[in-house]
Amino acid sequence: MPIETFQWTAHALLRLDQRQLTREDIEQAIREHHDERRANAGQADWLVAGTTHLGIRFEAIYDHPVHRDDGAARVVSAWRV
């Protein structure tokens, strides 16, 4: 089942603003690279890498599934690399 619904933590939204990243870029990376995700040892289950529409590389951490919903992801944070 593809990820269609995204929940965002307050921390993740703050980091997007601080790091000049967009929800659209993060959500696209999670959708496109979910099968290539790596386990994350920190505050979220998974880590994925992506590139913005401007060519800026970033990583994001997220939980999946959310409350047993395979179609949902909860974005915890994102940063530029």
- Global confidence as pTM: 0.94
Predicted pLDDT of residue 1 = 78
Alpha-carbon distance 51 to 15, whole Å? 16
Taking 90 as the threshold, does the pLDDT of residue 10 lie above it?
A: yes
pLDDT tens digits along 66-79: 999 999 999 999 99
Element (H, E) at 57: strand 57-63
Alpha-carbon distance 70 to 81, whole Å? 28
Point out which residues pair with 38 in neighbouring strands.
47
Predicted pLDDT of residue 75 = 98
Q: Which of 60, 26, 66, 27 is nearest to 46 (CA)?
A: 60
CATH level 3 topology of 5-80: YaeB-like fold (3.30.2310)
Mean pLDDT of 15-27: 96
pLDDT tens digits along 37-69: 999 999 999 999 999 989 999 999 999 999 999
